Chains A and B, each alone.
Chain A
Amino acid sequence: MDAMPKWADVVLIPLISLILAAILSALVILAIGESPVEALNLMIEGALGSTYGWGYTLYYATNFIFTGLAVSVAFHARMFNIGGEGQAMLGGLGVALICLYIPWPHWSLALFGAAIAAALFGAAWAAIPAFLQAKRGSHIVITTIMFNFIAAALLNYLLIGALKPTGSMEPATGKFPEATHLPSFQDMFSFGETALFRGAPANVSFFVAIIACFAVWALIWKTKLGYEIRSFGHSETAAKYAGISPTKIIMVSMLISGGLAGMMAINNVQGEAERLVLNAVEGAGFIGIAVALMGRSHPFGVFLAAILFGFLYQGGAELALWTKIPREMIVVIQALVILFTGALDDMVRAPLERMFLAMRRKGDA
């Protein structure tokens, strides 16, 4: 019998881990001479206090939903895809090519085309590490890290070379045509005089991200493929016995993972920047790891964790603006969340399990 009720596993453990991470983050803020309470107030005010703040929070959350889902799908096959960053960069390249070189009649078609291109490019970037893992046993963690570096160099090469408009000094593509511009929340939710989300980058891709959540949920828990992916993740030997091909599962799960990471580009490249710039991903690929761990690799959990990190990201930007706390503080928080929800899981879990066991004993007696 399980030592703990399911709700404790799904809700209590991530919550305690989060509180631990928050306490340590507060200590860091204290140590550099700022007030954690004031910092939190600033963050809440900046990220959630206005539709403008919400617009940024949800914009960042959209990125993290895609990358968090990407890491989650790979996790189900027990693959650790640290390459979300590089895959998202390549997704951006796909979006840029599609938007720049195809004359789209309407933004909806452009979004469709760009999403497919982003997914294909992201998947392609995950394909080589996946293939090497499946066929040569090369450790996917290290190869995907290497592919992040290679992706950065590739984009650097293209953005100061072939993709840069003539005469421009900036390492970036030209502006995408008007027809490819996605409706922002401001466009969608402003009625008459009252303009909501004014100037905030949240856009229609947020809803694509929500659709992706449902799609991943159905894939993992409702389809045969998802069943095979989970089976392989639980036990490779058993999967082989059952006639599930490890090569197929490694490839398919990593392609889906890479595709999801790549799709982030419809938000940050097409939706926000409307051109491809250097370092467009801004670490969202890595935040996906924290989001997936915290969301327990479940799309609903990923959704909630992504909103939380969207809040932290936007709040962190506000902090950097008004206090001496630099933006890198968010990286610290992200590291602590990964540490507590991922690596130190047993530290939180073991005492809780003992507690529940003791409670049950008392109940039995």
Chain B
Amino acid sequence: MTTAPAIELKGISKSFGPVQANKDISICVMPGTIHGIIGENGAGKSTLMSILYGFYKADAGEIFIAGQKTTIPDSQAAIAAGIGMVFQHFKLVENFTVLENIVLGAEDSGLLRPSLARARRELKALADEYELNVDPDAVVQDIGVGMQQRVEILKALYRRADILILDEPTGVLTPAEADHLFRILENLKREGKTIILITHKLREIMDATDTVSVMRRGEMTATVKTADTSPAELAELMVGRKVLLQVEKAPAQVGATILDVQNLNVTDNKGVHRVKDVSFNVKAGEILGIAGVSGNGQSELLEVLGGYEKATGQILMNGTPIDLTGAKSDGRSRRARGIAHVPEDRQREGLIMDYQAWENVAFGYHHDPAFQSGMFMNHAAIKADTVEKMARFDVRPPDPRLAAKSFSGGNQQKIVLAREIERNPDLLLIGQPTRGVDIGAIEFIHQQIVALRDQGKAILLVSVELEEILALSDRIAVMFDGRMMGERMPQDTDEKELGMMMAGMTKEDAA
């Protein structure tokens, strides 16, 4: 007798309005294995898992759990079927304790105290069994993201999940924390749990999984044994064509110092000290890459340079100080000083999603005299400018009257990039340039950044993707907990060393 698969999906389809996110997907996961699902952003991975967790209802298809046909109309049913899910964005109540978060929804009775007491006992047992130590009385907002992720895993285990789905679990972790996570997953696998790992990182698939399925544009293109495949083959399956994993660029022709940051400190409006005594510079004709796990002060650094966060210390732009607290510490003044900014979150910052493309091309530059006629804004001039920019950056569809929200992630990013680069800035700030962008557009965006460098511009690149930092940067700095951990030249370092620096360790610590 053969064992039934832990999960089997047959012919799952799902549409959101006119968009078909999943097309006739079938997949089979054996118990006691780690199964990877890889694909680009928007390939439909998360939609598929949300269907399995009862978050969405599939338009067609069947689900079998341990050989039994199962319907999963809601999360309650998924939990009852033994499925637990760790979402990319944690679903925790931030001002509750760890214990309250674990108990929420799985209480024993109407009264809280007995439930909490039992959870406390069980948590201890789980912690001993799986290397999952957390302080049950800590308030979630006070613990780190790695710890919060453990809480999410514990939530699933407390509900007696046999199948654990993790959606992009390492995005917020340092390489060391990620390794710890994978050890935990190995432990769980040994205990007979089935694990589905969703990621877009080829390395994780190769390191951690037993089998892997590849998704592309809502379809399942292949399922293979991890041991029988290679990163290059998986990349090709993901994209549908051969891709260059390497950016081609000539050696940097470094010029004068453009940006000089000295002893910068940022305290946010909640009183948290975000950037601590940071100093660095960026020279003409080079790309300085700042590596680090998100939330270690890089965002605040960009916000200060972009003019919408206050700071103390000194920043020199082309040798003259810029205002960090006063009337000239705003985006308009920064732009006037030759600083262009492609922000980390284009949907919340870089674009007004309801504005048409042409309105977004004026965004931040709406004071430009070329865009005015008398008292009013010159809409015709802005539209003409937009048409040109869209053509040069190959934005599709090239329609200046289409709302920003109607473009794909890659094309939205191209609009922002066109707006900022075409201003011919001395310094380009660029955060997470390829987050949520398809591989085709990634290549284009990387080429544009390198081309700008080759024109002798200074570029400050912030990215949480270590591979991207290594591929683009001429010099690499690492931030951890608001501090600069040091600088390295890309040829003198590797992912391992940078990973340790991202976790706050120096070489001496490691030795």
Task: Name A's B-contacting residues (CB within 8 A).
Answer: 1-3, 218, 222-224, 227-228, 231, 234-235, 237-238, 240-245, 357
Bound complex: CA A223 to CA B379 (Å): 10
Bound complex: CA A1 to CA B406 (Å): 6
In angstroms, how far is the closest chain A Cβ from the Cβ of B473? 24
Chain A residues near B363 (CB-CB < 8 A): 231, 238, 242
Do the beta carbons of B306 and A241 come within 8 Å of each other? yes
B147 at the interface (CB under 8 A from A): no
In the assembled complex, 20 residue pairs joining A and B whose CB atoms fall closer than 8 Å, in A order, are: A1-B406, A222-B376, A222-B377, A223-B376, A227-B359, A227-B362, A228-B366, A234-B354, A235-B352, A237-B345, A237-B349, A240-B308, A241-B343, A241-B349, A241-B350, A241-B364, A243-B308, A243-B330, A243-B331, A357-B18
Do the beta carbons of A241 and B352 come within 8 Å of each other? no
Bound complex: CA A242 to CA B348 (Å): 11
Do the beta carbons of A357 and B17 come within 8 Å of each other? yes
Chain B residues near A235 (CB-CB < 8 A): 348-349, 352-353
Do the beta carbons of A241 and B377 come within 8 Å of each other? no
Chain A residues near B354 (CB-CB < 8 A): 234
Chain A residues near B345 (CB-CB < 8 A): 237
Nearest residue in A to B349 (C-beta to C-beta)?
A241
Q: Mark B319-340, 1 if CB is under 8 A from A, else 0.
A: 0000000000011111100000
Bound complex: CA A111 to CA B333 (Å): 41
B14 at the interface (CB under 8 A from A): no
Bound complex: CA A2 to CA B354 (Å): 10
- Interface contacts (Cβ under 8 Å), in number, total 69
Task: Name B's A-contacting residues (CB within 8 A).
Answer: 17-18, 306-308, 330-335, 341, 343, 345, 348-355, 359, 362-364, 366-367, 372, 375-377, 403, 406
> Ordered nearest first, which 5 A-B pairs have the shortest CB separation?
A243-B331, A243-B332, A242-B364, A241-B349, A222-B376
Do the beta carbons of A2 and B308 come within 8 Å of each other? no
Do the beta carbons of B330 and A245 come within 8 Å of each other? yes
In angstroms, how far is the closest chain B Cβ from the Cβ of A137? 10
SS of A interface (majority): helix
Q: Say yes or no: A238-B406 contact (C-beta < 8 A), given A223-B376, A227-B362, A243-B332.
A: no
Bound complex: CA A54 to CA B122 (Å): 77
Nearest residue in A to B334 (C-beta to C-beta)?
A243
Bound complex: CA A223 to CA B373 (Å): 10
Choose from A2, A227, A241, A357 the contact partner of B366 (Cβ within 8 Å). Answer: A227
Nearest residue in A to B336 (C-beta to C-beta)?
A243
Q: Say yes or no: A241-B331 contact (C-beta < 8 A), given A234-B354, A234-B355, A235-B352.
A: yes
Nearest residue in B to A236 (C-beta to C-beta)?
B348
Choose from A2, A3, A223, A238 the contact partner of B349 (Cβ within 8 Å). Answer: A238
Do the beta carbons of A241 and B341 come within 8 Å of each other? yes
In angstroms, how far is the closest chain B Cβ from the Cβ of A224? 5
Chain A residues near B359 (CB-CB < 8 A): 227
Choose from B307, B352, B353, B377 the contact partner of A243 (Cβ within 8 Å). Answer: B307
In angstroms, how far is the closest chain A Cβ from the Cβ of B195? 36
List 6 additional contacts besides A235-B353, A238-B348, A243-B334; criterion CB under 8 Å.
A2-B403, A222-B376, A234-B354, A238-B351, A242-B363, A243-B335
Q: Say yes or no: A1-B18 contact (C-beta < 8 A), given A231-B352, A235-B352.
A: yes
Do the beta carbons of A223 and B331 come within 8 Å of each other? no
Bound complex: CA A78 to CA B335 (Å): 26
Chain B residues near A228 (CB-CB < 8 A): 366
In angstroms, how far is the closest chain A Cβ from the Cβ of B250? 32
Chain B residues near A237 (CB-CB < 8 A): 345, 348-349
Bound complex: CA A241 to CA B350 (Å): 7
Nearest residue in B to A234 (C-beta to C-beta)?
B352
In angstroms, how far is the closest chain B Cβ from the Cβ of A70? 22
In angstroms, how far is the closest chain B Cβ from the Cβ of A306? 26
Bound complex: CA A243 to CA B334 (Å): 9
Bound complex: CA A235 to CA B375 (Å): 25
Q: Say yes or no: A241-B308 contact (C-beta < 8 A), given A222-B376, A234-B352.
A: yes
- Counting chain A CB atoms within 10 Å of each CB, the highest count among B332, B351, B353, B363 belongs to B363
Chain B residues near A3 (CB-CB < 8 A): 17
In angstroms, how far is the closest chain B Cβ from the Cβ of A46? 42
Chain B residues near A218 (CB-CB < 8 A): 376
Bound complex: CA A218 to CA B376 (Å): 8
Bound complex: CA A239 to CA B372 (Å): 20
In angstroms, how far is the closest chain A Cβ from the Cβ of B399? 11
Bound complex: CA A237 to CA B353 (Å): 12
Q: Say yes or no: A224-B331 contact (C-beta < 8 A), given A3-B17, A231-B352.
A: no
Do the beta carbons of A243 and B333 come within 8 Å of each other? yes
In angstroms, how far is the closest chain B Cβ from the Cβ of A24? 31
Q: Say yes or no: A224-B348 contact (C-beta < 8 A), given A2-B403, A241-B306, A245-B330.
A: no
Q: Say yes or no: A224-B352 contact (C-beta < 8 A), given A3-B17, A243-B332.
A: no
Bound complex: CA A242 to CA B343 (Å): 10
Chain A residues near B364 (CB-CB < 8 A): 241-243
Chain B residues near A2 (CB-CB < 8 A): 403, 406
In angstroms, how far is the closest chain B Cβ from the Cβ of A38? 45
Do the beta carbons of B350 and A224 come within 8 Å of each other? no
Bound complex: CA A222 to CA B379 (Å): 8
Chain A residues near B353 (CB-CB < 8 A): 234-235
Bound complex: CA A234 to CA B350 (Å): 12
In angstroms, how far is the closest chain B Cβ from the Cβ of A230? 8
Nearest residue in A to B308 (C-beta to C-beta)?
A240
Bound complex: CA A237 to CA B354 (Å): 14
Do the beta carbons of A223 and B377 come within 8 Å of each other? yes
Bound complex: CA A224 to CA B103 (Å): 52
